[in-house]
C-alpha cells in the first residue's frame, strides 16, 4: 500500500422516480399550512415510485451511466446500501449486476444501518481499493422512504438512488482520513421486518441526530481531523432539508462559533436543492447533497468538504474530502436536473393508491402494469421472484 495513494469518488450519478407529489398537493389535502412544509421542514416535493419501480430499478438507472462511461472491467465489487430492501436474503445489487450485464467475476453484497449504510459502503470500498488500487468499487445507495399515511413523517417521504464509482486517483473527490465515529443504542427510527412503513419518534430522532453530530465531530477532532474553518461546505444527511440547517448550527455552536445565518447558508445551502425536491432518500440523501453541491457551486477545486452521515438507531460518521482539479468536466449536472424535472406530478388520490399498493403474497404470476418511462422496470412477481427487465 503506497503512502501517497489517494482514493475517493471517481464518478457520481443519481436517479429518482417517475412521479412526484408536491407538498402543495399534500397540504391542500390535509389542511396543513404550506409554510410548515416549505419553510418549517424545507421540502417542496417527494419522489413517488411507480408500481414498476423500486430500489433496484432506481439503482440500475443511477449506475448504468457510470458503467457505460468507465466500463465494468475494473469493477470487482458492488456494495449496495439500503434500508428498504426487497429481499431478506438476496442482495439487491445482484439484480443490478444482471441488468447492467456485469462480469461474473464480481463480489456483490448489501449493507444496512438505516441512513448511514451508504457511508459504510463508501468506507468499505476505500479499504478494498487500498488493498488493490487497480480495482474499482461500485457503491450504490438506494431507498424508498415510506411512513404511514397521515403520520408526521409522511411529509418527509421520498426516493432516490445514488451510484458512485470509488477508485484510486479519483476524478471528483479525494476522501480523507481520519473519520470521526459515533454509535448510540437508541430507538428513534426503526422498521420491524413485518412492516412496510417505518416507525419514528420524530422529535426524538432530531435530538439523537444532533447528539450524533457532536459525538462524531468530537471523535473527528480527537483523531486529528481538520479545523472547522478549513471546510468550504458541509454535506449532511437530510431527512428533510431543514435538518441540515439544525445540524450545522449545532456543530458551529459546539465548536464555540456564533450563529451567523449567512455563514450557515453559505456552508450548506447548495447541498439542499435536490433533496428539497426529492424528499428523504435515506442512504442516498447525503450523497444527493454532494451531487447538488458539485453541480451548482462555483469552482471548488482544492476545497475541503465535510460530510456528516447519520443513520437512526444510531450511527454517525464525520469525514472530509478534497475536490480534485478538473472535476467539473466529469459532472452529470444536466442529467441530474432532468431526473428531477422529468417526474410527472400526481394528485393525492393517485399518490394514495401507490402508497397502499402491495403485491399478492400467494406466489402466483403477477405482471406489473407498465408505468415508468425510466430505463429499467419491475416486470412481474412470479413464484415469489421479482422479475426485472430493461424497459
> Does 178 sit near ligand COA (CB under 6 A)?
no
Which of 19, 116, 240, 287 forms a contact with ligand COA (CB under 6 A)? 240
- Select from 233, 237, 220 the least CA-distant residue to 302: 233
Which of 35, 224, 360, 369 forms a contact with ligand COA (CB under 6 A)? 35
Which of 49, 117, 118, 153 forms a contact with ligand COA (CB under 6 A)? 153
Nearer to ligand COA, 348 or 363 (CB): 348
The three-point CA angle 67-298-141 to 5° equals 35
Q: What is the DSSP string of 311-372?
A: ETTTEEEEEEEEEPTTGGGG--HHHHHHHHHTPEE--HHHHHHHHH----SS--EEEPPP--
Nearest distance, CB of residue 135 and ligand COA, angstroms = 33
How far apart CA 225 and CA 178 sit, in angstroms, is 6
Nearer to ligand COA, 24 or 109 (CB): 24
User: By the 8 A CB rule, do 122 and 164 touch?
Assistant: yes
Q: What is the DSSP string of 94-161?
A: HHHHHHTT--SS-EEEEE-BTBTHHHHHHHHHHHHHHH-TT-EEEEEEEEEE---TTSGGGGG-EEEE
Nearest distance, CB of residue 84 and ligand COA, angstroms = 15
Q: Which residues contact 256 (CB under 8 A, 6 or more apart)?
A: none
Which of 118, 170, 225, 239 forms a contact with ligand COA (CB under 6 A)? 239
Q: Is 10 a catalytic residue?
A: no
> Does 155 sit near ligand COA (CB under 6 A)?
yes
Which of 27, 40, 109, 379 forms a contact with ligand COA (CB under 6 A)? 40
Q: Is 223 helix (H, G, I), strand (E, B) or coil?
A: coil
Binding-site size for ligand COA (CB under 6 A) equals: 21
Q: Which of 10, 97, 237, 355 is catalytic?
A: 237
Q: Is 248 a catalytic residue?
A: no
> Does 79 sit near ligand COA (CB under 6 A)?
no
> Does 187 sit near ligand COA (CB under 6 A)?
no
Residue 257 backbone zone (phi > 0: left; psi -120 to 50: alpha; other: beta): beta
> Does 207 sit near ligand COA (CB under 6 A)?
no
Nearest distance, CB of residue 358 and ligand COA, angstroms = 22
How far apart CA 321 and CA 153 sit, in angstroms, is 32
> Does 241 sit near ligand COA (CB under 6 A)?
no
Which of 127, 152, 367, 390 forms a contact with ligand COA (CB under 6 A)? 152
How far apart CA 59 and CA 69 sit, in angstroms, is 16
| Binding piece for ligand COA, criterion CB under 6 A, among 61-69, 153-161, 213-221, 248-256 | 153-161
Residue 26: CB atoms within 10 A of its CB come to 20
Q: Convert residues 300-339 into a mask of x (bound to ligand COA by CB under 6 A) and - (unbound).
A: ------------x---------------------------
Nearer to ligand COA, 77 or 82 (CB): 82
- What are residue 19's DSSP bridge partners? 48, 344
Which of 69, 203, 342, 357 forms a contact with ligand COA (CB under 6 A)? 203
Nearest distance, CB of residue 141 and ligand COA, angstroms = 15
Nearest distance, CB of residue 261 and ligand COA, angstroms = 13
Q: Is 250 a catalytic residue?
A: no
Which of 86, 109, 181, 206 forms a contact with ligand COA (CB under 6 A)? 206
User: By the 8 A CB rule, do 121 and 141 touch?
Assistant: yes
How far apart CA 82 and CA 112 sit, in angstroms, is 6
Nearer to ligand COA, 207 or 335 (CB): 207
How far apart CA 81 and CA 120 sit, in angstroms, is 8
Q: Which residues are catalytic?
A: 83, 115, 237
Question: Using CB under 6 A as the criterion, which residues of the chain lie in contact with ligand COA when the complex forms?
Answer: 33, 35-36, 39-41, 152-153, 155-156, 189, 200, 202-203, 205-206, 209, 239-240, 243, 312
Amino acid at each position: 500500500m503506497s503512502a501517497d495513494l489517494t482514493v475517493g469518488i471517481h464518478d457520481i450519478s443519481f436517479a429518482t422516480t417517475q412521479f412526484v407529489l408536491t407538498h402543495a398537493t399534500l397540504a391542500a389535502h390535509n389542511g396543513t399550512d404550506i409554510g410548515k412544509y416549505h419553510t418549517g421542514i424545507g421540502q417542496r416535493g417527494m419522489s413517488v415510485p411507480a408500481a414498476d419501480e423500486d430500489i433496484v430499478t432506481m439503482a440500475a438507472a443511477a449506475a448504468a451511466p457510470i458503467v457505460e462511461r468507465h466500463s465494468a472491467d475494473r469493477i470487482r465489487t458492488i456494495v449496495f446500501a439500503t434500508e428498504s430492501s426487497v429481499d431478506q436474503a438476496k442482495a439487491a445489487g445482484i439484480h443490478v449486476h444482471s441488468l447492467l450485464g456485469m462480469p461474473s467475476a464480481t463480489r456483490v453484497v448489501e449493507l444496512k444501518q438505516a441512513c448511514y449504510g451508504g457511508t459504510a459502503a463508501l468506507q468499505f470500498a476505500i479499504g478494498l481499493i487500498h488493498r488493490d488500487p487497480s480495482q474499482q468499487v461500485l457503491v450504490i445507495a438506494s431507498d424508498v422512504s415510506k411512513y404511514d399515511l397521515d403520520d408526521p413523517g409522511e411529509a418527509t417521504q421520498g426516493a432516490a438512488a445514488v451510484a458512485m464509482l470509488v477508485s484510486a486517483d479519483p476524478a471528483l473527490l479525494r476522501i480523507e482520513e481520519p473519520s470521526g465515529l459515533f454509535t448510540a443504542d437508541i430507538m428513534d427510527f426503526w422498521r420491524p421486518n413485518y412492516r412496510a412503513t417505518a416507525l419514528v419518534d420524530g422529535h426524538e430522532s432530531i435530538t439523537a441526530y444532533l447528539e450524533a453530530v457532536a459525538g462524531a465531530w468530537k471523535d473527528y477532532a480527537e483523531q486529528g481531523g481538520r479545523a472547522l474553518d478549513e471546510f468550504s461546505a458541509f454535506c449532511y444527511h437530510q431527512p428533510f432539508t431543514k435538518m441540515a440547517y439544525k445540524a450545522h448550527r449545532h456543530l458551529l455552536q459546539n465548536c464555540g462559533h456564533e450563529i451567523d445565518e449567512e455563514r450557515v447558508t453559505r456552508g450548506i445551502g447548495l447541498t439542499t436543492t435536490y433533496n428539497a425536491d426529492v424528499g428523504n432518500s435515506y442512504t442516498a440523501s447525503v450523497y444527493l447533497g454532494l451531487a447538488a453541491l458539485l453541480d451548482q457551486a462555483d469552482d471548488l477545486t482544492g476545497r475541503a468538504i465535510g460530510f456528516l452521515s447519520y443513520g437512526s438507531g444510531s450511527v454517525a460518521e464525520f469525514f472530509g474530502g478534497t475536490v480534485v482539479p478538473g472535476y467539473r468536466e466529469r459532472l452529470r449536472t444536466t442529467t441530474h436536473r432532468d431526473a428531477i424535472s422529468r417526474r410527472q406530478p400526481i394528485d393525492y388520490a393517485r399518490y394514495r393508491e401507490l402508497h397502499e399498493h402491495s403485491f399478492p403474497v400467494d406466489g402466483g404470476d403477477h405482471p406489473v402494469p407498465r408505468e415508468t418511462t425510466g430505463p429499467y422496470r419491475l416486470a412481474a412477481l412470479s413464484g415469489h421472484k421479482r422479475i426485472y427487465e430493461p424497459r
